[in-house]
Amino acid sequence: MAHHKSALKRIQRNAHRASINTARTSRLRTFVRKVEEAIAGGSRTAAAEALRAAQPELAKGGARGIVSVAAASRKVSRLAARVKAMPA
């Protein structure tokens, strides 16, 4: 256990940030899952709507360091390709 006041504060801060990051990661996964479920459902319009909602969330996650910017871009690109490949 930490013995200095600053170290105790840092432990509390780390725990708080970890809980925020966990929530943001979960939110990203939820948006991506909704797009994948819409793709599996076969409705191109629903998949496009879900993708439109997921794109800014992934961009925010990349900007905030939840996922790397490259990973966020890659996910958006691959989901968009899958939606585009769906029959109309």
DSSP labels, 29-48? HHHHHHHHHHHHHT-HHHHH
- Residues 44-88: tens digit of each pLDDT: 999 999 999 999 999 999 999 999 999 999 999 999 999 999 997
3-state DSSP percent of the chain in helix, strand and coil, to 5:
85, 0, 15
DSSP 66: S
- Alpha-carbon distance of 79 to 42, in angstroms, equals 14
- What pTM was estimated for this model as a whole? 0.86
At 46, the amino acid letter reads A
- Domain 5-84, CATH homologous superfamily name and number: Ribosomal protein S20 (1.20.58.110)
